[in-house]
């Protein structure tokens, strides 16, 4: 069956032809039975391993409720008890919706044309298979699930307003996680594509899927490590291939200087600090989407800090160490390599947060080595920092500390990856559960997802400081953060600043980044790009994708002029913003080129006072974490 332009289900009686029936018929009963026996054996192994891991964990001292869900849902229960009228009303509404669904399904089965009671949200990719619409049974399952999932989330949202807003937000987040987990798409018998494949392949897909699951558990050391991309990439060979050299190394960074792509370069060099919670080559995936290659082609001398993948020996490295041994060491090394006292600097995500704090410290110390600062998806004010704040309360921080203590003072990269994947669970968890484990497919090679799964560890002291002082207490924006015995004040930072944000960023929301327009004391340019935390940043002009928004009535223009002060609300900025198709990189290039001085002969790695230590991408980026 099909839907008309208004979403009406049409087509009369359900088709019962041989093709429809054969799609849900076992191909070879004997082979199917043998495969089901194999599935049973593998499932017993999985169950035994699960019980063993749980018993081991119970005696390890690790917290049994690291996400502090017990207190969250205890508060929800109290709220529901306190407002029984709202609960009764919600239950009656759900019952009425179910009756409506039964009535419309019956009419459809009798050949009538009906509109669905509920449809998936725009962008929901789970129900793309044609049988979710055309097959009446699966359409009924789909609508029943959507009614229930929406009911759960709407009921939670209406709980008594006396609940703490942060607690209520956590409840809403985990309710959605639960609703996503119980979707019919995640089970063999209620997913038409999986059911068809199981019957037609005689269950071979489930055997392959369980093998994939066992391999992922083995690779994760007993923890599920979902493979999101085929292992078709090798760092330095077909990914992270921009030509350059390692010119400096300490315990925290390798500094990479990339080969020039032009005969002349801007006098002021460019130094990039990526996030240390991921590896730097997000900026150099392939030649066609490499920001590093593109920046070199615009005439910049490009340096990038490649952060170490820390082990237990670095567990006590502090946030201040990352400032001194990361940013300060990088600035000193660039000066030695180029002879330039001034450097343009970029900070991406947490690397940008560190850069913000460092600039405030440098302002207090009258240190003027930074010429300009660009921030890719980086927050300084965390009052609207998105769903990651859900994971930061004192109970969860204490549980996290216990986990890191058990691991020798580091947070394993897999745990951080799981947290980020939960923010987009349907795309980054459940879609792979269906593809890898239920359909038994191998993931396709995808450079971005390969990078996403190439995780890094976190030193305990740095990570807890970051979560507590930024996410939980929001100290930097309030002028309360102290580094090196200096209280940090961002209003003292007078260097030109470029703030890039992204419309669909779920990690560093554009509303959060916009708040920085009111924090820095110098000229600021703020833009919003299309897409999210990664694609919103890594969007080369040649791709001709997405768009970006600017408003030259406020702040700093690309040619260095200054408009009116930024309004208090980002919506007021957006009301007069101009949309431009394509990449925002050229806008940034115009802005930075006007701040980078005259052209000079191109510099090659090793030309200055720093010796070449090896070829890019270096050694730190190749260290794997579990």
Query: Are the C-beta atoms of 360 and 490 separated by less than 8 Å?
Result: yes
Using a CB cutoff of 8 Å and minimum separation of 24, what contacts does 475-481 make? 476/353, 476/356, 476/357, 476/360, 476/380, 476/381, 476/382, 477/380, 477/381, 477/382, 477/383, 477/515, 477/519, 481/357, 481/360
Helix H or strand E segment including 180: helix 165-181
Provide the 3-class DSSP secondary structure of residue 195: helix
Provide the 3-class DSSP secondary structure of residue 280: helix
Numbers of helices and strands, H then E, in the chain: 22, 19
Q: How far apart are CA 261 and CA 301, in angstroms?
A: 9
Q: How far apart are CA 195 and CA 192, in angstroms?
A: 5
Look at the alpha carbons of 541, 514, 349, 299 in this order and tell me if their dihedral is positive or negative.
positive
For 33-68, the DSSP string reads HHHHHHHHHHHHHHHHHHHHHHHHHHTTT--S-TT-
Distances (CA, A) of 446 to 230, 323, 422, 435: 7, 33, 20, 15
Query: Are the C-beta atoms of 493 and 355 separated by less than 8 Å?
Result: no
Provide the 3-class DSSP secondary structure of residue 502: strand
DSSP 623: -
Distances (CA, A) of 452 to 207, 214, 216, 255, 353: 27, 21, 16, 22, 20
Distances (CA, A) of 549 to 55, 346, 552, 580, 587: 53, 20, 10, 6, 10
349 in active site: yes
Helix H or strand E segment including 511: helix 510-514
- Between helix 204-219 and helix 192-200 the angle, nearest 10°, is 110
Query: Are the C-beta atoms of 514 and 498 separated by less than 8 Å?
Result: no
- By the 10 Å C-beta count (0-12 exposed, 13-18 middle, 19+ buried), 538 is classed as buried
Q: How far apart are CA 290 and CA 240, in angstroms?
A: 8
Q: How far apart are CA 497 and CA 478, in angstroms?
A: 19
Nearest alpha-carbon partner for 266 in 559, 493, 591: 591
**Could you say which of 213, 349, 380, 577 is catalytic?**
349
Catalytic center residues: 349
């Amino acid at each position: 069956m099909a839907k008309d332009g208004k979403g009406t289900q049409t087509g009369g009686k359900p088709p019962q032809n041989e093709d429809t029936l054969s799609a849900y018929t076992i191909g070879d009963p004997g082979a199917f039975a043998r495969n089901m026996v194999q599935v049973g054996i593998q499932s017993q192994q999985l169950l035994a391993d699960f019980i063993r891991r749980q018993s081991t964990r119970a005696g390890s001292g690790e917290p049994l409720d690291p996400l502090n869900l017990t207190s969250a849902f205890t508060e929800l229960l109290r709220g529901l008890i306190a407002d029984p009228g709202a609960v009764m009303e919600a239950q009656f509404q759900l019952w009425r919706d179910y009756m409506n669904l039964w009535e419309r399904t019956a009419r459809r089965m009798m050949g009538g044309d009906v509109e669905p009671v509920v449809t998936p949200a725009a962008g929901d990719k789970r129900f793309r298979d044609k049988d979710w619409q055309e097959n009446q049974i699966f359409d009924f399952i789909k609508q029943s699930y959507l009614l229930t999932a929406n009911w759960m989330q709407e009921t939670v949202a209406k709980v008594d307003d006396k609940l703490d807003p942060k607690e209520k937000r956590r409840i809403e987040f985990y309710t959605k996680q639960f609703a996503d987990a119980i979707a019919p798409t995640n089970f063999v018998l209620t997913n038409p594509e999986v059911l068809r494949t199981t019957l037609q392949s005689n269950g071979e897909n489930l055997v392959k899927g369980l093998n994939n699951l066992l391999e992922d558990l083995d690779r994760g050391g007993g923890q599920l490590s979902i493979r999101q991309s085929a292992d078709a990439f090798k760092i330095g060979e077909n990914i992270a291939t921009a030509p350059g050299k390692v010119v400096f190394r300490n315990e925290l960074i390798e500094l990479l200087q990339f080969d020039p792509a032009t005969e002349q370069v801007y006098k002021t060099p460019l130094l990039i600090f990526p996030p240390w919670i991921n590896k730097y080559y997000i900026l150099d995936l392939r030649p066609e989407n490499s920001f590093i290659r593109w920046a070199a082609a615009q005439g910049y001398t490009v340096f990038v800090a490649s952060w170490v993948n820390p082990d237990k020996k670095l567990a006590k490295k502090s946030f201040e160490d990352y400032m001194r041994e990361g940013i300060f060491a990088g600035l000193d090394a660039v000066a030695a390599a180029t002879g330039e006292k001034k450097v343009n600097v970029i900070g991406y995500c947490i690397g940008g947060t560190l850069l913000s704090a460092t600039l405030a410290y440098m302002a207090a110390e009258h240190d003027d080595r930074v010429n300009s600062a660009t921030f890719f998806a980086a927050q300084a004010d965390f009052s609207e920092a998105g769903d990651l704040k859900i994971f930061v309360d004192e109970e969860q921080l204490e549980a996290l500390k216990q986990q890191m203590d058990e691991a020798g003072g580091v947070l394993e990269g897999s745990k951080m990856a799981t947290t980020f994947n939960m923010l987009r669970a349907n795309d980054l968890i459940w879609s792979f559960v269906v593809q890898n484990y239920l359909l038994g497919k191998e993931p396709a090679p995808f450079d971005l997802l390969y990078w996403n799964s190439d995780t890094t560890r976190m030193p305990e002291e740095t990570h807890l400081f970051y979560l507590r002082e930024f996410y939980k207490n929001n100290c930097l924006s309030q002028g309360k953060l102290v580094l090196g015995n200096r209280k940090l004040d961002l209003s003292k930072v007078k260097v030109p600043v470029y703030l890039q944000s992204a419309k669909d960023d779920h990690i560093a929301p554009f509303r959060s980044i916009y708040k920085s327009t009111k924090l820095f004391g110098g000229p600021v340019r703020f833009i919003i790009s299309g897409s999210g935390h990664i694609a919103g940043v890594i969007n080369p002009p040649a791709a001709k994708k997405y768009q970006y928004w600017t408003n030259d009535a406020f702040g700093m223009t690309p040619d260095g002029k200054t408009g009116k002060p930024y309004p208090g609300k980002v919506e007021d900025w957006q009301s007069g913003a101009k949309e431009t198709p394509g990449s925002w990189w050229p806008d940034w290039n115009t802005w930075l080129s006007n701040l980078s001085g005259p052209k000079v002969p191109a510099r090659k790695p090793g030309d200055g006072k720093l010796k070449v230590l090896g070829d890019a991408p270096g050694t730190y980026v190749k260290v794997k974490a579990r």
